[in-house]
């Protein structure tokens, strides 16, 4: 059976999954790009944006794995765009241009109905207005036995965690301080919900891996 | 000039510096011991508690460094003991027995005056009732040019950070979820206060350092 997964979800040291004040200029909130530097430098992400090169390190392996065996995505409305309230028209089609990097059905949680949106490259955005369990059911039907990835943002992941519906979550702890934004752990007692950290992988600090500290 | 430092301050992935419901049985709060497993296994800590052996890894280097060049400590009243309100008598002398692991003057922040307490091995507890800046001034006079370490807990460190008095802080991010307790980053915008992460050192994950992921 397909699993519901959170993958490569970046958090700051102080627990923010996005900066404050999301806007067209700051899709990830103010300073939110800082969270994702580990990913942007990888070959996987550079290829996704049509660029050459990129690191092929542990970060790249996590980036690549985050897209593997994914049959459908679920995302919150704010991950899809900066518009709040009713859709003024059909012009907003996501942050990602005509060919989004999903290539599978994507279910967008919203309170405001809208017709499905077929994009190039296999991505279709479906707008789900009747809640997270309905979105999960639709995603499961669409995923063809593959996994379903909850992309974000913070509020959407929290809702699925609180409902104990997430089967596996990979948090990418970025060594930055955001100071403000979308706090991932606020009012979220993962331990009480039954979650525990299973694996961990350290990536390269200033002094790589397990070498002694410099004097 | 001596610096005011936070060293080897353990936090959970979800940002807790101690568990909830501190008591005589749970000096670090419920599940709070989980935060410090990285330290307890080191040679430095084992020696401190009169035991043999222990790891001599990067964690041990950080543990050892956390005590170096320290001329005085400052701690909050809850780090000194579980008693709240006025001191019922002079019987509580800290968690650490007759010979505490400080070996220098320790300034305890409290609203309730109490005579200084001379312990074995060079530790003297002084009780400061007129605020964090007064405690810092007293600690600086006592430190003889060495650094002053703010030991904790969360609230005490936060107060010094908000006053921009901390010169250097080492956070030890422990790969555990606490779910509840003393939230270190709550209402603390370190970025706005001018703090940034400078160095980072990765310790050993399940797959040590920077080796490739297993298949």
DSSP letter string over A109-143? E-SS----EE-GGG-EEEEE-S-HHHHHHHHHHHH
Tokens for A173, please give them.
């702890």
CA distance A205 to A200: 15
- The angle subtended at Cα A29 by Cα A127 and Cα A205, nearest 5°, is 115
Tell me what the mean pLDDT of segment B160-179 comes to.
96
A167's CB contacts (< 8 A; 6+ apart) are A3, A4, A5
Contact A35, A11 (CB under 8 A): yes
Residue B204: pLDDT band by 50, 70, 90 thresholds?
low
Calculate how close chain A gets to B79, using CA atoms only, in Å: 23
Which positions of chain A have pLDDT values less than 70? 204-215
Q: In this complex, is the C-beta atom of B190 within 8 Å of any C-beta atom belonging to chain A? A: yes
Mark yes or no for CB contact A61/B213 under 8 Å.
yes
B75 contact A CB<8A? no
* Chain B CB within 8 Å of residue A201 CB: yes
The C-alpha atoms of residue A204 and residue A192 are separated, in whole angstroms, by 32
H or E, element range at B156: helix B154-162
At residue A57, the 3 state secondary structure works out as coil
Across the interface, whether the CB atoms of A202 and B200 are under 8 A apart is answered no
Closest CA to B155 of B180, B107, B194, B188: B188
Between helices A132-143 and A154-162, what is the axis angle to 10°?
90
Cross-strand partners of B169: B6
pLDDT at residue number B211: 44
**Strand stretches in chain A, DSSP E:** 4-12, 16-18, 70-76, 105-109, 117-118, 124-128, 147-152, 168-174, 182-183
Q: Search chain A and give the residue with CA nearest B196.
A: A177
For residue A188, the distance in angstroms to the closest alpha carbon of chain B comes to: 7
Res. B207 pLDDT band, cuts 50 70 90: very low
pTM exceeding the 0.90 threshold for the entire prediction: yes
DSSP type of residue A11: E
Distance from CA of A49 to the nearest CA of B (A): 24
| Interface contact A33, partner B, CB < 8 A | no
Which residue would you say has higher pLDDT here, A206 or B11?
B11
- Nearest by CB to residue A209, choosing from B188, B193, B210, is B210
Q: Please indicate if any CB of chain B lies within 8 Å of the CB of A204.
A: yes
CB of B20 within 8 Å of a chain A CB? The answer is no
B13-64 pLDDT tens trace: 999 999 999 999 999 999 999 999 999 999 999 998 889 999 988 899 999 9
Q: Are A174 and A28 in contact (CB under 8 A)?
A: no
Structure tokens given for A162: 């609180």
> How are the residues of chain B apportioned to helix, strand and coil, as percentages rounded to the nearest 5?
25, 20, 55
3-state secondary structure of B159: helix
Residues of B in contact with A205 (CB under 8 A): 199-202
ipTM of this model? 0.89
Cross-chain residue pair B179–A199, CB shorter than 8 Å: no
Residue in chain B lying closest to A188 (CA): B179
Chain B: residue nearest A192 by CA? B179
Own/partner long-range contacts of A58-64 (Cβ < 8 Å, ≥24 apart): A58/A201, A58/A203, A58/A204, A58/B210, A58/B211, A58/B212, A58/B213, A59/A203, A61/B212, A61/B213, A62/A7, A62/A8, A62/A170, A62/A172, A62/A201, A62/B213, A63/A8, A63/A39
Q: Name the residue of chain A whose CA is nearest to B212's CA.
A: A58
pLDDT of A204: 62
Question: How would you classify residue A152: left for phi > 0, otherwise alpha for psi between -120 and 50, otherwise beta?
Answer: left
Nearest CA in chain A to B203: A210
pLDDT confidence of residue A201: 83
Beta strands B182-183 and B16-18 are: antiparallel
Report chain A residues whose CB lies below 8 A from the CB of B212. Answer: 58, 61
Could you tell me the pLDDT band of residue B209, with boundaries at 50, 70 and 90?
Answer: very low
**Cα–Cα dist A169/A186, whole Å:** 17
Exposure string over B79-92, b if 16+ CB within 10 A, otherwise e? bbbebeeebeeeee
Cβ–Cβ gap A177/B197 under 8 Å: yes
Q: Is the pLDDT of residue B212 over 50?
A: no
Rounded to whole angstroms, how far apart are CA atoms B160 and B163? 5
SS3 content of chain A, % helix, strand, coil (to 5): 25, 20, 55
Going by C-alpha positions, the residue among B170, B65, B209 that lies closest to residue A213 is B65
Among candidates A13, A188, A208 on the partner chain, residue whose Cβ is nearest the Cβ of B209: A208
Closest CA to B204 of A190, A207, A200: A200
| Interface with A, mutate which of B42, B172, B200 (most A CBs under 10 A) | B200
């Amino acid at each position: 059976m397909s699993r519901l997964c959170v993958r490569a979800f970046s958090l700051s040291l102080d627990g923010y999954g996005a900066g404050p004040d999301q806007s067209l200029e700051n899709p990830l909130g103010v300073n939110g790009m800082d969270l994702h530097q580990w990913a942007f430098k990888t070959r996987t992400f550079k290829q996704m944006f049509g660029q050459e090169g990129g690191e092929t390190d542990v970060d790249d392996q996590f980036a690549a794995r985050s897209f593997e065996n994914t049959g459908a995505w679920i995302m919150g409305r704010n991950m899809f765009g900066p518009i709040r309230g009713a859709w003024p028209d059909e012009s907003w089609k996501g942050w990602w241009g005509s060919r989004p990097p999903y290539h599978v059905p994507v279910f967008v949680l919203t309170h405001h109905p809208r017709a499905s949106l077929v994009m190039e490259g296999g991505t279709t955005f479906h707008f789900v207005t009747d809640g997270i369990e309905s979105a999960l059911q639709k995603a499961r039907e669409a995923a063809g036995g593959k996994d379903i990835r909850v992309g974000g943002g913070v509020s959407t992941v929290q809702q699925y965690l609180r409902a104990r519906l997430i089967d596996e979550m990979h948090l990418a702890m970025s060594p930055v301080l955001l100071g403000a934004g979308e706090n991932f752990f606020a009012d979220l007692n993962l331990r009480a919900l039954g979650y525990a950290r299973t694996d961990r992988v350290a990536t390269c600090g200033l002094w790589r891996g397990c070498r002694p500290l410099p004097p």
